[in-house]
Amino acid sequence: MRLFGIETEYGITRDDVPDMDPVVESMELVRAHLAASFERRWDYAGEDPHEDARGFRVSGLQQDREEDEFARRDAHRPFSFHDMKSDLVLPNGARFYNDHTHPEYSTPECRTLRDLVAHDRAGERIVHRAAQRRNRLLGGAHLRLYKNNTDFHGHSYGCHDNYLVPRSIPFPALAAGLLPFLVSRQVIAGAGKVGIEAQESGWVAGAYQLSQRADFMETELGVDTMHNRPILNTRDEPHADRRKYRRLHLIIGDANMCEYATALKIGTTRLVLDLIERGALPPLEVEQPVVAVKQVSRDPEIKTMIRLKDGRKVSALELQAHYCEIARRELAGSDEESDWLLSEWAETLHALSEDRSRLVGKLDWVTKLWLIETFMGEERIGWDDPWLASLDLEYHNVNPEQGLYLGLEAEGKAWRLTTEDGIEEALRSGPQDTRGGVRGLCVQRFSEQIQSMQWEQIQFRGSIRSQHLNMGDLFDPKEVRRCVDIFQQARSPADALAVWDHRKEIQT
């Protein structure tokens, strides 16, 4: 089983108005992507964030009251909920919409790290190009978009990584195997942050930490995502055949600018899921995971010792090395991508313990710290200078003329997995070996005939007979490619569905 994707909520601001309306600006930003008028297509019927993977349904989320309040305040606006969301499905199989007043780009489902990173970068380009169009309407470069996770005033927004996993893995096994890994994953995947903050309670200067999101983790397990955020989210919304699959929905991660960090974050998590599925992980429990997440984040020297329930104390690097070594033992030789990951994972942990300067341009927290320390030396300023938070913010600016990371990349100081051609290809079409490619192809060829879409289904307009493509169990890459071929060659969705359904009948 190998399928993953990333959803990124972008920060958005305007510098020509004193009080920007985030509802309108996020909506207009998404719509700036469109060449034609917005047409509602996304079907929310398949989404229910109240189902909990621990086997129950919650009556309400902590954010429901705040959402209701926003809905009451937004009710006077001259547009509907669906207009405000402006949900788009793009020709590359991605989803681009306004989620909680943040433009959100969800990559199509990917099977390889190369595809995933290319589609993550394609999302940056789509957001930036939409901002350019919006700025032309505004009459100046007033709109800025940030691929980060905090506003330095206690408001966080997410970058979630998602993995398809067999439902046959009991959720308690997933939780036990993942919690220590996620507590320590930030040494690789942290985006770095100047200062310390807490949920909606301000920001304090004077420190540098590994992660943008660690300050906002408040519990080990939970179904909430906007308040009382959990290290391991228990939302049970598979977007697939519920009898066979789960979607692991991780909200602890930072939005990464470095391609290497994105690849290692997703790749190492996928390896750990493989280990859990094999039952290869020995029991290991962190005594206070929420405390440990914050302690690890706030120690760039990575010397903090984490207490385990069996009384031992280990560092975050030792925890990661523990997982890395078991993965090497169990998974080496599985395939080339796994072997590359095992090698890079071990080398990265070694570099973090010996000479982290080797990771500039590869890990975000190391790269940002290197930039900021260089700037502090040049300008003779200290960690209490508020300028540093602004530099932190601008590291994540997606405008290549302004963003600090993108400036570094333009100088050739960032490790690249993608090529410009690869990103352009990811802008045009989805992966040809996942249902994301099928979804994108249907948008490219039969846009006018699509009535509604969900992650796992496409409903076409037409005859009395139901005309929908169910992709809830379309994960075998050979089957996906066959489906792509059929929809590529058919003259209409009805023709394609007739061939596809006949094929499925023969198989059963």
Partner 1 sequence: MPKSPSPLEEGGGPRRPETGSPDKDSLLKRMRRVDPKQAERYRQRTGE
Catalytically active residues, by annotation: 99
Nearest to 186 by CA among 330, 295, 34: 295
Nearer to partner 1, 367 or 459 (CB): 367
Q: How far is the CB of 394 from partner 1 (least distance, A)?
A: 5
Is residue 317 exposed (0-12), middle (13-18) or buried (19+ Cβ within 10 Å)? buried
Instruction: Give backbone dihedrals phi and psi of 228, rounded to 5 degrees, phi first.
Output: 50, 50
Nearer to partner 1, 81 or 340 (CB): 340
Task: Name the β-bridge partners of 469.
Answer: 458
CA distance 224 to 66: 13
Nearer to partner 1, 113 or 273 (CB): 113
CA distance 296 to 300: 8
Contacts of 44 (CB under 8 A, 6+ apart): none
Q: Which residue has the tokens 């969301």?
A: 85
Q: How far is the CB of 339 from partner 1 (least distance, A)?
A: 7
DSSP state for residue 223 in the 8-state scheme: S
- In this structure, what token pair is assigned to residue 217? 């983790």
One-letter identity of residue 455: W
Nearer to partner 1, 184 or 348 (CB): 348
Nearer to partner 1, 157 or 181 (CB): 157
Nearer to partner 1, 290 or 417 (CB): 417
Nearer to partner 1, 135 or 492 (CB): 135
Q: How far is the CB of 417 from partner 1 (least distance, A)?
A: 5
Q: How far is the CB of 298 from partner 1 (least distance, A)?
A: 19
Q: How far is the CB of 360 from partner 1 (least distance, A)?
A: 5
Strands 159-166 and 245-250: what pairing? antiparallel
Nearest to 436 by CA among 396, 398, 389, 483: 483
- In this structure, what token pair is assigned to residue 344? 């890079």
Strands 4-9 and 159-166: what pairing? antiparallel
Sign of CA dihedral 279, 284, 287, 288: negative
Task: Name the β-bridge partners of 145.
Answer: 12
Q: How far is the CB of 498 from partner 1 (least distance, A)?
A: 37
3-state secondary structure of 475: coil
3-state secondary structure of 450: strand
Q: How far is the CB of 427 from partner 1 (least distance, A)?
A: 16
CA distance 362 to 3: 23
Nearer to partner 1, 408 or 484 (CB): 408
One-letter identity of residue 467: Q
Q: How far is the CB of 307 from partner 1 (least distance, A)?
A: 30
Instruction: Give backbone dihedrals phi and psi of 42, rounded to 5 degrees, phi first.
Output: -75, 135
Instruction: Give backbone dihedrals phi and psi of 496, rounded to 5 degrees, phi first.
Output: -60, -45
Nearer to partner 1, 48 or 501 (CB): 48
DSSP state for residue 241 in the 8-state scheme: -
Give CA 326 to chain center in angstroms: 26
Provide the Cα torsion 353, 354, 357, 363; round to 10°: -30
CA distance 276 to 281: 6
Q: How far is the CB of 162 from partner 1 (least distance, A)?
A: 13
